[in-house]
Structure 1
Amino acid sequence: MNLRITFFIPVVFTGLIVLAAFRHIPAINNAGLKLPAGFKAVVVADNVGKARHLVVTPQGNLYVKLARVVDDQGILYLSDTNGDGKLDKQQGFGNYGGTGIYLKDDVLYASSNEEVFSYALNDKHEVINPGSPALLVKGLVRGRQHDTKSIVLDNDGNIYVNIGAPSNSCQEKDRTPGSMGRPGCPLLDSAGGIWRFRANKTDQSYAEGMRYATGLRNVVGLDWNQETNTLFVMQHGRDQLHGLFPDLYDEKTSSEVPAECMYQIKQGDNAGWPFAYYDQLQGKNIQAPEYGGNGKKEASKEFIDPVLAFPGHMAPNGLLFYTGNQFPERYQNGAFVAFHGSWNRTPFNQEGFYVVFAPFKDGKPTGEWEVFADGFAGTDTVTSPRDAKYRPCGLAQGPDGALYVTDDVKGRIYRISYQ
């Protein structure tokens, strides 16, 4: 007997709570995933390493960035040599780990946790200079947390780099109960935001770039929206409200707040970290307890609001605006978000471990979103991230409009198509 399970979670969109229906439709032979009717998933590669972001060439081959090098290789080039749909040939290069990878105008861009490189491609989109890339950006801040450098390009020759803050909430003593925030948060001078550099200039450092936006604790998933010609990002919200300030927050609130936020970013924007966080239940920016907040006090109006707010602590690691023609029309120009899954909802069950879809209309999200691909975790109840068999991370669109999803636990790569 097949079951269709529908449940509702409150979602906040520009201050309003709406209800998004999640319909999980079990499917047979779908690589273990649950997808909407008409969609099919297959595994095209497996056990490749901790696969983070990826891109697909016009020929249908993949470049995959690994968080950690395998056999001295941090970028994999995967191709299908016999036409069976499986990426059976694997080559590697780039002796550095990281997350960011992007393909634009026949150039491949990739990041370590401190630099950004570019590789020239031939007419088959194969790397010409695997051992000698151009060093575009160097000397970026790297801490013990939030050290990945996600990247994206606009249409004017600029590359945008996330530089995550090496801190949870800029406390004097990081993640220490009762410790207050550092005045002015000096970390923001070189982290906690998006920096812009030129995509064709080498040996750039902070001095040659510019801080494009600030107040972003950590962005892993980001994409350039071609319809609006603007940057969109998914922020990882701060942790441990109850653990750090138990007199102000109970465990339930701390497990749900703050939101994982989608922001439309323009030059000069400030999203508020660490001085504020977005509470999707109250529908507003709240002053952080480290800076005098009490869980209710509204933050300064200088901080931008998200365009879409998801439940907290689900770790959005991938963002992709769908521009293909394979999927039904309702998916056109909408956003897919890969939620890696939470670790800090204890004593409650962890949440995430799926890919969601958010419809857009006229360049703006409608406020309703749904779980698109579920089942990565391999279990309905996750009490610890270690329970999850697979965790989605990167998203990419193939030349035929198929959606690719990476897993960075065992290195599985899925291809989702519509029939």
Structure 2
Amino acid sequence: MTRPLNTTLLGAPLLMLALTAPGLAAASCKTAGLDLPPHFCATVFAKDARQPRHIAVAANGTVYANLNRGDDKHDLMALTDSNGDGVADKRQLFGQGGATGLTIHDGWLYAASTTSVRRYKLGKTAVPEGDGEVIVSGLPDQEAHSARGLAVDGDDHLYVSIGAPSNACQEDDRKAGSPGQDPCPLLDKQGGVWRFAADKPDQKFSTKARYATGIRNLFALTWDRSRHRLIGAQMGRDQLSALWPKKFSTKQGVELPAEVLLDIKQGDNFGWPYCYYDDKAHAHRLNPEYGGDGHKVGRCADYADPIAAYPAHWAPMDVVFYRAKAFPKAYRGGAFIAFHGSWDRSPEPQQGFQVIYQPFDGNKPSDKYQTFAGPTGFTGEKIVRSPGSAAHRPAGLAVGPKGALYVSDDQGSTIYRISYQKN
């Protein structure tokens, strides 16, 4: 499914990487079992790390992780590599969070739980002192799609993504033939991005703080500092064929809808639950719950388009822009995206389970992307029938102060550190 590289845009250095078999590196450069381009090295920065999801790296190199499995008291972990060998030799649990939503801004660590966002002042020690400050409370308490994405811009605005606890806002969720609710009541409090003040404690969730809507489930969220905009990668809907077999073939259920990269501006509406994005047609299509048949556009012509699209059901989990200089120029200025891997591509094998690099041409992504890490290096097998059989699944991304790329894996409870070796 990997698309060919636009070598004219990216230049000869990346062409050389593309033509060399993944995983080939200098003799002294180990890859920790990952499939990486030549001269990229990896260490297992931490293992048995309690199912880390989103991660962040402080200026002193301390790695922070929001955990899917804390210790009943704490949900965050600080990991320190004191001797600089690329492996954490100390880890400490602290604070409150839960699974996703983690970012560092202006000397503070922001961590999300299902219902709140708290921040911790970073200091001389790896573990922040005190219990932190509650910045936002009262986020909708929900079981489905409860993970949050966090981002902070240059003007101290905190962005929080809130997924919709639904597939397509049906009257009976995930029931074959059930029509969609119109209008969808979930959009009042979910299915979008909300904006708060990053430096103001004790804010309450409010529908008035909604920044953008029509987004089914998005916690791959970041602020693109060089272009001054909010970027997110959405997980598209499931089960087009399973719920509407008379309108969509099994193949269409496997290949639709695309996962999409969004440039999120205030007031944007991206069309969920009324529409899905067809990357082959390069357009939105009306969902069958609202009268769609794979061809009808209808109201979907009125909604904001994505800026890039990826194969169906890959499940984007995190996105980070690379502005450091440690990697070759071909990897600078674009975005790394971690895909957690699919479950809804049966009877075909599941796909995703990889980190890609999405180059940008000025302010826009090119229409090509490169597989950077995986998938076999993560899954441990070439054909994946069930996501539970994969050994590792990418979940979080962060760039360290020296330019290394950190990748968390919640399935194998591992954090990888990827660097570049010129010779």
Moved more, 230-239 or 297-306: 297-306
TM normalised by structure 1 equals 0.93
Aligned match of 1:251: 250
The percent identity for this pair of structures is 45
What is the aligned length? 402
Amino acid in structure 2 at the alignment position of 1:314: W
Structure-to-structure mapping, 1:56-205, within 5 angstroms: 56-70=57-71, 72-123=73-124, 126-129=127-130, 132-205=131-204
Go from structure 1 to structure 2 and tell me whether the alpha carbon gap of 1:157 and 1:278 turns closer, same or farther (over 3 Å shift): same
Does the 8 A contact of 1:341 with 1:351 survive in 2?
yes
1:18: which partner in 2? none
1:335 maps to amino acid: A
- The equivalent of 1:355 in structure 2 is 355
Runs of 4+ with >6 A deviation: none
Structure 2 match to 1:17? none
Match of 1:4 in 2: none
SS at 2:69 equivalent: strand
Instruction: Give the letter for the 1:67 counterpart.
Output: N
The separation in 2 between residues aligned to 1:256 and 1:293, in whole angstroms, is 17
Distance, in Å, in 1 between the alignment partners of 2:20 and 2:194 is 38
Post-superposition offset of 1:302: 1.9
Aligned to 1:370: 370
Quote how far apart the aligned CAs of 1:81 are.
2.7
Tell me the secondary structure at the aligned position of residue 277 of structure 2: strand
- Whether the aligned pair in 2 keeps the contact of 1:221 and 1:318 (CA below 8 Å) is yes
Cα distance in 2, alignment partners of residues 10 and 280 from structure 1: 16
Q: Label 1:224 to 1:22 Cα distance change in 2 as closer, same or farther (>3 A).
A: farther
Question: Residue 69 and residue 40 in structure 1: after superposition, are their counterparts in 2 closer, same or farther (change >3 A)?
Answer: same
Give the Cα separation in 1 of the matches to 2:106 and 2:419: 25
CA distance in 2: counterparts of 1:291 and 1:274, whole angstroms: 9
TM-score of the superposition, structure 2-length normalised? 0.92
**1:110-155: CA deviations, max 9, x gaps?**
01011000111225665122xx211111111132210011111000
Q: Which amino acid aligns with 1:389?
A: A
Distance 2:83 2:317 in 1: 32
Kept after mapping to 2: 8 A contact 1:197/1:209: no
SS at match of 1:85: coil
Change (3 A) 1:22 1:404: farther
Given that 2:54 and 2:99 are in contact with CA atoms closer than 8 Å, whether structure 1 keeps it comes out as no
Q: Decide whether the 8 Å contact of 1:24 with 1:34 is kept in 2.
A: no
Contact 2:189 2:207 in 1 (8 A): no
| Aligned residue number for residue 14 of structure 2 | none
What CA distance in whole angstroms lies between the structure 2 residues aligned with 1:121 and 1:33? 32
Q: Quote the offset at 1:72 in angstroms.
A: 2.4
Deviations 1:245-266 (A, max 9, x none): 0000011111110000001010
- Name the CA distance, whole Å, in 2 between partners of 1:209 and 1:104: 24
Change (3 A) 1:67 1:192: same
Aligned partners of 2:20 and 2:38 also within 8 Å: no
Aligned pair 1:400/2:399, yes or no?
no
User: Matched residues in 1 for 2:71 and 2:412: separation?
Assistant: 13
Report the Cα distance in structure 2 between the residues aligned to 1:368 and 1:151, rounded to whole angstroms: 27
Q: Give the Å deviation of 1:101.
A: 0.8
Report the secondary structure of 2:55's partner residue: strand
Are the counterparts in 2 of residues 141 and 190 from structure 1 also a CA contact under 8 Å? yes
**Separation (CA, whole Å) in 2 of partners of 1:74 and 1:118:** 13
Letter in 2 for 1:381: I
The offset of 1:222, in angstroms, is 1.1
Preserved contact between residue 339 and residue 353 of structure 2 (Cα < 8 Å): yes
1:238 aligned residue = 237
AA aligned to 1:315 is A
Does 2:52 match 1:51? Answer: yes
State the secondary structure of the residue aligned to 2:270.
Answer: coil
- Whether contact under 8 Å (1:276, 1:299) holds in the other structure is no
Where does residue 338 of structure 1 map in the other structure?
Answer: 338
CA distance in 1, matches of 2:4, 2:241: 21
Q: Is the 8 A contact 2:223 2:230 kept in 1?
A: yes
- Which structure 1 segments of 5+ residues have no match? 1-6, 12-20
Pairing partner for 1:409 from 395, 408, 411: 411
In 1: Cα distance, 2:351 partner to 2:381 partner? 12
Aligned equivalent of 1:380: 382
Equivalence for 1:16: none
**2:103 aligned counterpart, secondary structure:** strand
Matching residue of 1:308: 308
- Displacement after TM superposition at 1:201 (Å): 1.4
Conserved 8 A contact 1:59-1:124: no
Could you tell me how far apart the structure 2 residues matched to 1:269 and 1:23 are?
41
Gap runs ≥5 in structure 2:
6-17
Report the Cα distance in structure 1 between the residues aligned to 2:310 and 2:265, rounded to whole angstroms: 21
2:38 matched residue in structure 1: 37
**Would you say the 8 A contact 2:42–2:416 is kept in 1?**
yes
Amino acid at match of 1:378: G
- Go from structure 1 to structure 2 and tell me whether the alpha carbon gap of 1:175 and 1:22 turns closer, same or farther (over 3 Å shift): farther
Q: Which amino acid aligns with 1:108?
A: L
The question of whether the paired residues in 2 share the 8 Å contact of 1:402 and 1:417 is answered with yes
Query: How far apart are the structure 2 equivalents of 1:166 and 1:401?
Result: 36
Residue 161 of structure 1, CA deviation: 0.4
The answer on 1:275 being equivalent to 2:278 is: no
Q: Which structure has more helix as a fraction of its residues?
A: 2
Alpha-carbon distance between aligned partners in 1 of 2:209 and 2:292, rounded to the nearest angstrom: 31
